[in-house]
Amino acid sequence: MIYHDILENARIRLRALEPSDIDLLYKWENNTDVWIISSTQTPFSREILNRYIEASEQDIYSAKQLRLMIEARDQANKAIGTIDLFDFDPNNRRAGVGVLIAPEERGKHYGSDALETIINYSYKVLNLHQLYANVLNTNEESVAMFEKCGFSVIGIKKEWVRSPEGWLDEYMLQRLTGTNNINI
């Protein structure tokens, strides 16, 4: 089977991390507005991020995770976000998925394009049976994006995340092979 252009579509391209991405990663990872989503509590140094980029050359089977940059083709391949596969479990053929789109690029459907692309890659190349995501119930745009891409809410973790405003519930979403016209 040939996987020609499996990490891109007409609007976006997914690619490996590069050392030149350090400034964007530093900005995004240290944006306190998204810390609640990523369970981050302390800032990341450039040195830590440099080591992370260097370690990203490990394949998903060794690292059990994969982070890819999302580039917007209609913006001269400008990096506009990241998409992650994490908790990769080849035995049970599943992984978690997370998407981060730069605040100024949200609402342009880049996230759903990237998610559809990683779904295709996950099922066709990695031979996964399912993907899952954890999304705060207050993040309606993200829930809608995952549902648009064939994920279903399968549970609610009550008072799962502590925020400055109080406890928040978190949805667990799941997508099985074959859902939403992905043919394997």
pLDDT, tens only, 118-139: 999 999 999 999 999 999 999 9
Its pTM stands at 0.88
The predicted model gives 73-86 an average pLDDT of 95
Q: How many angstroms separate the CA atoms of 70 and 67, rounded?
A: 10
Using alpha carbons, select from 43, 35, 126, 42 the residue that is nearest to residue 85: 126
Provide Rg for the chain, Cα atoms: 16
- Least confident residue range of 47-51, 78-82, 168-172: 47-51
* Strand, helix or coil for residue 85: strand
How many CB atoms neighbour CB 66 within 10 A? 24
CA dihedral of 143, 148, 154, 160, whole degrees rounded to 10: -10
CATH 3.40.630.30 fits domain 12-181: yes
Q: How many angstroms separate the CA atoms of 93 and 122, rounded?
A: 9
How many CB atoms neighbour CB 172 within 10 A? 17
Which pLDDT score is estimated for 183?
38
Between the alpha carbon of residue 96 and those of residues 83, 111, 184, the distances in Å are 11, 16, 19
Instruction: Look up residue 36 and give its amino acid.
Output: I
Q: How many angstroms separate the CA atoms of 150 and 173, rounded?
A: 10
Which pLDDT score is estimated for 2?
64
Instruction: Look up residue 119 and give its amino acid.
Output: I
**pLDDT tens digits, 13-37:** 999 999 999 888 888 887 777 766 7
How many CB atoms neighbour CB 83 within 10 A? 22
Within the chain, how many helices (H) and strands (E) appear?
6, 7
Sheet holding 152-163, edge to edge: 12-16, 66-72, 78-89, 94-101, 130-136, 166-176, 152-163
Which pLDDT score is estimated for 95?
98
Q: How many angstroms separate the CA atoms of 177 and 173, rounded?
A: 14
